[in-house]
Amino acid sequence: MSKSGDQGMVWHDNTGGKTTKPKSLIQAISEIEQFSVAEMNSEIPEGALPQATAFSFMEVGLKSGLFSGLMTAVSTPLMMAAGQKLIPIFGEYEPSLFNQIFSLALTIAFPICFGIFLFMTLTQSYAGNITKRAIDYLAGGVATGAAAKTLLFVILYHYVCFQILDEDRVIGALNLIQALPLIGLLHLDYKMIFDWIMEFKLVLIPSSYFMIFVNGVFVVIVLMALVIGRYKTRVRKEFLKEWE
Mean pLDDT by 10 residues, the chain (244 residues): 41 47 87 83 71 88 84 87 86 82 87 90 81 89 91 94 94 87 76 93 94 92 90 81 72
pTM greater than 0.75 (yes/no): yes
Contact indicator for 91, 56 with CB cutoff of 8 Å: no
pLDDT score for 47: 64
Residue 46 has what pLDDT? Answer: 63
Measured at the CA of 227, the angle between CA 223 and CA 232, to 5 degrees, comes to 145
Q: Which pLDDT value is given to residue 220?
A: 93
Enumerate the domain spans of the chain: 27-242
8 A C-beta contact, residue 148 and residue 59: no
Q: Which stretches does DSSP call E strand in the chain?
A: 2-3, 9-10
Instruction: Give the burial string for 187-207 (b: 16+ CB within 10 Å, else e).
Output: eeeeeeeeeebeebbebbeeb
pLDDT of residue 13: 43
DSSP code for 22: P
Question: Which pLDDT value is given to residue 11?
Answer: 43
